Amino acid sequence: MSLSTFRLFVPFSELLAAIVGTIYFYKYKHTHLKYFLYILWYIVLTEFTGWYAAEYSFLVFFDEEGRLYNLWMYNLMYTIFFPVVLTIYLKSINNSVYKKWIKLFIFFYILISILNWSFIQSFKYEWSELPDVAGSLFLAISVIFYFIELLRSDKVIIYHRKLLFWISIGLLIFHVGTIPFNIEITHYALQKSIHNLFLILWILALIMYLIFTFGFIWSKKED
């Protein structure tokens, strides 16, 4: 199987997760988790528009050497993705100290994004590794907060039937797993051979979306 074929699995796993999430929407539509479904559909939209844009040179940018860039769509997606997901954790956690920290994370993520795109990186031509690394770390810590709160709760919580638990696992695996990738890509993004590395990214993404899909099916209706 060639790399480019494998690449196709990712958008379709996203689509699968979004569709399954919509089917089981009744389980969590009354909670803040509904925003997760919205963001999932937004990811699908970005992915397919990005693909279409690259194919038909639609809404894309070219550099001096004539190379095509649709990165701004993905950069925009991540800039929206992290604050929304962090907000879901903010709303799902009760501990006031953790809440304060997550609020700080959201603030700093937005600050880092603004500084990055204004002074350091180009929104059109570069992969958003710096905000991504920051966002992933913030997300990982928020997930840990959520886990700690689950552990500390004196209620009997069937955690493996909770949707946010599976979402957390998926997010942890992909976003923390790709931190090394994101750090390295800064220097080698444009070198052809580095493309093999995208395979790691795609495998982790595939795992994440399959975990989301499983979570939507397996989870019980939220109270």
Among residues 110 and 173, whose Cβ is nearest to another protein? Answer: 173
The residues of the shown chain that bind another protein, judged by CB under 8 A, are 144, 147, 150-151, 154-157, 159-160, 169, 172-173, 176-181, 184, 188, 191, 193-194, 196-197, 200, 204
Q: DSSP secondary-structure letter at 159?
A: G
138 contacts: CB under 8 Å, gap ≥ 6: 82, 86, 102, 105, 106, 108, 109
The pair of structure tokens assigned to 221 is 């209706």
Q: How far is the CB of 209 from another protein (least distance, A)?
A: 15
Name every residue whose Cβ is closer than 8 Å to that of residue 173 and which is 6 or more positions away in sequence.
204, 207, 208, 211
Our CB check for another protein shows the closer of 61 and 159 to be 159
CB of 164 to another protein, least distance (A): 13
Q: 44 or 139, CB closer to another protein?
A: 139
Minimum distance of another protein from residue 188's CB (angstroms): 7
Which of 112-146 are b and which e, b meaning 16 or more Cβ less than 10 Å from the residue's Cβ?
A: bbeebbeeebebebbbbbbbbbbbbebbbbbbebb
Between 130 and 162, CB nearer to another protein: 162
In whole angstroms, give the CA distance from residue 223 to residue 214: 20
Kindly state the DSSP code that residue 221 receives in the 8-state scheme. P
Give the Cα-Cα-Cα angle 170, 94, 161 (nearest 5 degrees): 40
Closest CB to another protein among 33 and 204?
204
